Amino acid sequence: MLKSKNVLFICLFSFLLLTACTANEGEKSSASDEEVEETPNEEKMEDEKGNGEPIKLYGNDFIEEITPKFQEDTGYEIEGVHYGGGEALAQIEAEQGNPQWDIIMMDGHGSIRNLADRGFVLTDWEPENIDLLNDEGKALVPEDNAYTPIGLHASAVIAYNTDILTEETAPKTWDEFFAYDGPVGHADPAVAAPAYPLVSSFFHQWGVEEGKERYTKRFEDGFYIYPKNGPVTSALINGEIHIAALQEHNAYQAELDGEPVGVIWPDEGAPGSLRVVAINKDSKNLEAAKAFVEYMLEPDTQNFLTSMESENSSLFTPLSEGAKMREERRQDGTFLLPPAEWAAEHEAEIKTWFADQNVN
């Protein structure tokens, strides 16, 4: 009997010991699971803090001016690289295997929408300063926050040579521009950042096929495409072309410089170029990159940009509440701005078509 009790006691003790060990293992497993769940968040925080290297900004305007000011005001180190719009996009494409950029700031929401649709840029992050945008700016924020709008300007106004035409005889509408009996021109949409917003505005308004027909007729009647708006301005001043669909920066600056250039902002609107800033989704320094976006939304930053009278890029419509535009441009000018999705969808087709016309 005693032996049976001993056996029973040993069995019971063994069972309790086994149960305790199992419970301990379960606790360890749960703790381990919690650690696994927490690790990605810790890694994400470390990724956002970055590796101490300067963030790299690609852009077509304000690069030389904004980088030192951002660094001075925030303490984040930044390196800016000034590209033309087409050059910046080509560089990003070339770096797919080893991206070197953290932020892109350029004209053309359609082109950045294209990058976003192909997985290049950070989405679903909303800046804390997004509420600093005015109503017009807020309406231009995409649902996925793939980019942040910061400014809007005319990718083209009608600029004319005042030695050849007067304000009365110069075209007042875009239909009159395309029907003009004489040489006209504008920048190449595959090279100049504002030029694709220019042509996409027309193609969206008319439809792609009608757009091709109108431009084909214009080429037959005398149409010249130049790499960027600088050469367009020179061609207009020297009379090589009589009128130009010219970016407002160049048009107003030529007028202010006393060149023989007159500027007409059509009442129907000017093709709009939306300046946006977007973040590389693979950036190793998200904290600083996000700080740059927040900084660009501040009214003080935008007023700094519009106050630079020596820089013609300062001729734009700021989108932060309370920021003011320069007085030299039309204050009530409206814009022809196609939806970003449409501009992104047709970008390759339209740019290829123009490239083919240049070859022919």
- The reported pTM is 0.82
- Residue 206's pLDDT band, with cuts at 50, 70 and 90, is very high
Q: How confident is the model at residue 38 (pLDDT cuts 50, 70, 90)?
A: very low
Mean pLDDT of all residues in the chain? Answer: 88
Res 112 pLDDT > 50: yes
Query: Residue 16 — very low, low, confident or very high, per pLDDT cuts 50/70/90?
Result: very low
CA distance 317 to 253: 16
User: How sure is the predictor about 142, in pLDDT bands with cuts at 50, 70 and 90?
Assistant: very high
Q: What is the pLDDT of residue 90?
A: 93
Average pLDDT of the residues in 193-220: 96
Q: Identify the pLDDT of residue 50.
A: 54
Stronger pLDDT, 39 or 217, i.e. the higher one: 217
Please report where in the chains the tokens 């749960």 appear, as a residue: 30
**pLDDT attached to residue 65:** 94
pLDDT of residue 45: 44
Q: State residue 84's pLDDT score.
A: 84
Q: What is the pLDDT at residue 77?
A: 97
Per-residue pLDDT at 49: 52
pLDDT at 193: 86
206-227 average pLDDT score: 96
Q: What is the pLDDT of residue 60?
A: 87
Tell me the average pLDDT across 154-172.
98
